[in-house]
Structure 1
């Protein structure tokens, strides 16, 4: 008889223990705080996945991408000298320090939570010990995809994509108006004088080239196609400048360099110069192809070609 009662009693005890356990778990579950939102995200960089802040507050940019970060309303505490010298960025970067890939102590003092640069920067290992460091190879992706990648890195992909869609629409519509005015086959070249050397640019090297050639589809002089399209730029002498000058010329000038070539007969006899179809720009404002610069360049081209 005792043996017969033993099994039911054992089962009853197990049921009681199980019920108590379930009640305890329910109470714990109901009173437990909600799981905190992750403070980092994983960005798929060129060199593999890397944990970066989900909401970066103190970013250092060592090359090229300051305008991309500012366009997404993310705070910069350190930038490269080229960005700092850009008059168009002056107000936004007034509190940012100039840094390089070798000023490690200064970067440590800035306490960044994210560092961004080109793939050819030095001391990546040491920089990575200071903060997550992400690098990009210039030209590996097109200029708009580059902005989208930075949007992903900063956890602002939707904002980046929205700007891209709007920009392409505005640039392409302006291009149609410009071609209707100047003619489908009218050529445009982008020429720059820097450090006593003349350069002409292809379709992906800043200076407004992405807008003129990729979005607006304006015609490029044959000589420019031949010499500058592959590498993005080509250094030339004053003597051959007329061969590379289009019907219209965007002349990127730096007031701090020698621009006396404009006083030569070779330059003055270029048809675009004679026809008053040279549009001069401040080189320091026109170097890059970030959203802030691209919007500025687009407004300049609309005003110059269309008088709007």
Structure 2
């Protein structure tokens, strides 16, 4: 699907909490200068609060702007497979290049259930699927053997976004997976070690703010220039981590608003970044000369 950096983009809102499509267009064009893919309506895009009409318009708008320059991957996950299938149809209809599908949350699953769940979904779409493992949000973990079994059973499952945070688990996955199976970091601060192990890139929150720098980091790793990658990673690691000082995407929405690409508005149950959080991000922007 892609090697390098895919930005899990924010969804801009206006003062009435409506999707700001003009801001979305400006932000997508900003991202297009640097990154290798765009991920629309993931966690960072506040997907749980986006209704079906908004979802269709957002996907069609981004696909139109990108115009096949890079892949557009749509987050379609849910804990109800029928909702996933409906979201997949909207993505297919509006020209998406791939799907990012999180493991079911709240009702959760066994490992056997995960295989059946993703197989059921994969059999009902022709679009490429990236599995999404994020136990901190779902309460469940896609174990390496399970991810590989799902990949082996479904030709359109092409890889996994690994956000378990467990480098040992990721190392086990990469060392045992088929060569064709793609592995992306779901944590910016683990992009370097994951890619050094043989992963393909990162699905990034940090690149909402600094896409050029994250692209330089992933390019350096892919080109074997680990010294340069280490320098970039060490410089920006603190911002990568502090963009999660409160629940994502609260801090990154504030950070992008400081760049002028959106308003600092999130939808409930999220609320805007605390004053202490703003002070922290402001200080890092100053120290890193971002503005």
Larger C-alpha radius of gyration, 1 or 2?
Answer: 1
Q: Structure 2 length normalisation: TM-score?
A: 0.31
When you count strand as a share of all residues, which structure comes out higher?
1
Q: Structure 1 length normalisation: TM-score?
A: 0.30
